[in-house]
Structure 1
Amino acid sequence: MKLLNLIFKLIDLYSWVLVIYAMLSWIPPLRDSKVGEIISKISVPYLNLFKGLPLQFGGFDFTVVVGIAALQLIERFIYIIYNLLF
C-alpha cells in the first residue's frame, strides 16, 4: 500500500508540474529562466505523446489538459487493478 501511495503522490506531483508548465506559457521570460527550462525538460517529452492529436482550438492548446486527464485515468486504472488483486 505504501508503494501505491507513493505512485499516486508522484502522479499528483507530475500533474502540478504540467500545470506550472502551462502557466509558464503565459509569461515567456519565466519559461526562459533556469526553473522554466527544467520544467520544460520534464514536461515536454510526456506532452509530445499527445502532439499528434488535434488539441488546438481557437488559439488555445489543450495538450496539457489531456495530459493531466490521461495521468488521472492511469491513476484510477492502477487503483482499480490494485483493488481487484488485493
Structure 2
Amino acid sequence: MEIVTQLLPVLARTLEIYSLILLVRVLLSWFPNLDWSSNPVLATVSSITDPYLNAFRGLIPPLGGLDLSAILAFLALQLMQNLLLGAGAALGGYGL
C-alpha cells in the first residue's frame, strides 16, 4: 500500500507536466504559419498531445472557428489530478 501512496503524487505531477505541454500546444496553435512537421520539437509536442485532444474534438463543436475542446481536455486532466491527490490523502499519503 505504501508504494501506491508514493506513486499517486508522482502520477499527479506527471499530469501537471502534461498539462503544461498541452498548454504549449494550444498556445502554439494560434500561430498558423508554424510548420509542425519540419520542427522536431513541435512534431514531438504535437505527437504527444494530439491523440488526447482528438478524444475531445468531437464532443464540443467549433464555435466560430475556435476549437474549444482543449478546455474540456484541461478540465479532465485537472479532475484526474485532483482524484489522484485525493486518493493519496485518503490512503494516508501526502499531496504535492
TM-score (norm 1): 0.83
**Partner Cα separation in structure 1 for residue 65 and residue 28 of structure 2:** 16
Structure 2 portions without partners, runs of 5+: none
Counterpart code for 2:74: I
Q: TM-score, normalising length from structure 2?
A: 0.75
Determine if the alignment matches structure 1 residue 3 to structure 2 residue 3. Answer: no
Rounded Cα–Cα distance in structure 2 between residues aligned with 1:55 and 1:5: 34
Q: CA RMSD in A?
A: 1.8
Deviation, structure 1 residue 30: 5.2
Q: How many residues are matched?
A: 86
1 or 2, which has the higher strand percentage?
Answer: 1
1:40 aligns with 2:46: yes
Deviations 1:37-85 (A, max 9, x none): 1100000111111122124212211111211110100111222333334
Higher helix share: 1
Residue 61 of structure 1 aligns to a residue whose secondary structure is coil
Larger RCO: 1 or 2 (CA < 8 Å, sep 6+): 2
In the alignment, the residues of structure 2 paired with residue 85 and residue 4 of structure 1 have an alpha-carbon distance, to the nearest angstrom, of 10
Structure number with bigger Rg: 2
> Any unmatched runs of 5+ in structure 1?
none
Percent pairwise identity: 30
- Give the distance between the partners of 2:60 and 2:7, measured in 1 at CA: 35
Give 1:1-86 correspondences, 5 Å limit: 1-27=5-31, 28-29=33-34, 31-32=36-37, 33-86=39-92
